[in-house]
Amino acid sequence: EYDEYYEHFALDKKLNPPKYFRDIEKYKRDYEIKKKLFDGKLICTYSYQKLDDTLFDSLVKQLRARGIKVPEENVISDEEAIEKFREAGYFTYFASLLSNFLTHFKLRESKLDELKSKVNTPWFKKIFEGTENKRARAFVEIFEFIFNGYQQKLSKEGRVDYEDMLIEGMKYIENQNLKFLIVDEFQDISSLRAEVLRKIQKYNKNVQFFSVGDDWQSIYRFNGGDIKIMVSKYEQLFGKKERVDLGLTYRFNDRLCELTSSFILKNKHQLNKKIKGRQDYNEIPLLIFKQATGERNSFKIDFSLKIHLLKILKNIFKEDKTSIEGGISKAKILFLTRYNNNNYRNGYEDLEKYICNIFKRKKGYFEFSTIHSAKGAEADYVFLMNVHDGYRGFPSTIENDPILSLVVNDIDDFEHEEERRLFYVALTRTKKRSLCTGKWALILLKRFIKIRITKKVIIMKTPIYPF
């Protein structure tokens, strides 16, 4: 009707897209091409306008300048707007954010008054208030309403949630003449759990406190875990300690010990330990599939990774002699991903379905998991999939919602601290060999681990198999 076109571009004020985009230069070129192609008929808005809270004003101004009528008020009812909101999937995200915020709020024993004081703004400052402050203030208002309703519902039904078990449980701690207090997985302890332990110590004067944990495997910050309690605050919270390191692993060999130790200790706040591995197995423990990139801007589908995966799996089943049952290898094979997604990066195929369809009689040998879910697990061989740069890559570039900073302030002091620990957990699930796959695996490993590629690593350069 108007012969005009509209597109919203993910660009900042300097017309640069986010760093996690796959091909930044291509996105910028496409933007310029579209501007020329539509010859003044393209209405544009930008990400920076959304942050500045000027996006809708700019859009309305451009529409009206082209003779397109824009109503002064909403043309749909609140009920219709809510339904559109639901259809777009925003309720799912918002519910997840609320749930996450509620967990951190209670784990840290935060108070509503303290929370509201962080976002309260005098009336004269609201005139100049930015979008982020407005959003935070609106969120806190909604959170207060939901939190009060949630707590009332729990009370009315005589129920408690997990955080309340700890909060309410502290009220009943008394002297029970405890002699020993033993805590496992101490690296994942939260401030609220630490407070429970302190109170037990306070009322049981003669209790001996024994904790077991590996700070190299602290990967649950999103669930309230605070590694500083173990590494730097231990004596401040629990008194003088005697530390004993367990320096021997029975899972993997010295080569993998040396490789993984060298990059985990790049984190400035990890405890320094020396780990020794198995002596009966000395094969190179890490295999990297370095996929060829092909021609620039090529749209070919890359089959090289799939073909090499099948070859490796076939060799494992044919040659592995660690566990034989009826003459057939029973090696356990674990596929790990950073996120709950088994699709290839360049993909068109669900990896789990693909592998299990080809090796139908060996389905029981495969397990698929996120790295977080696999903590504590082990397998003969581990495939770490989708080691690539960008969105849903590794190390992760997805940042927490800024709203969470109202209750969570324990950010990394050193770049990628927790992502580095997560990578360590992934590589050390194996008994024999870990295999990293993804177009940028080698590049990411060099940058992320920041060590020289040595005899501990085999690099396989794979060709492009055209579609």
Q: Can you tell me the mean pLDDT for 421-440?
A: 85
Q: Which two tokens stand for residue 357?
A: 């369809």
What pLDDT is stored for residue 319 in this prediction? 72
Give residue-wise pLDDT tens across range 235-252.
999 999 999 999 899 999
Q: How many whole angstroms from its chain centre is CA 364?
A: 28
Rounded-to-10 torsion of CA 252, 253, 254, 259: -60
Q: What is the DSSP letter of 280?
A: S
Read off the pLDDT band of 62 (50, 70, 90): very high
Whether the CB-CB separation of 238 and 202 falls below 8 Å is answered with: no
Whether the CB-CB separation of 460 and 290 falls below 8 Å is answered with: yes
Q: Can you tell me the mean pLDDT for 40-57?
A: 90
Model pTM? 0.75
Give residue-wise pLDDT tens across range 356-409.
888 888 888 899 999 999 988 999 999 988 776 666 667 777 777 888 888 887
Give residue-wise pLDDT tens across range 433-459.
888 876 556 665 665 555 454 566 666
Q: How many CB atoms lie within 10 A of CB 79?
A: 8
Q: Can you tell me the mean pLDDT for 185-207?
A: 93
Mean residue pLDDT of the chain comes to 82
- What proportion of the chain, given as a percentage, has pLDDT over 70? 81
Distance CA 292, CA 300 (A): 12
Give residue-wise pLDDT tens across range 65-110.
999 988 887 778 888 888 888 888 778 888 889 999 999 999 888 8
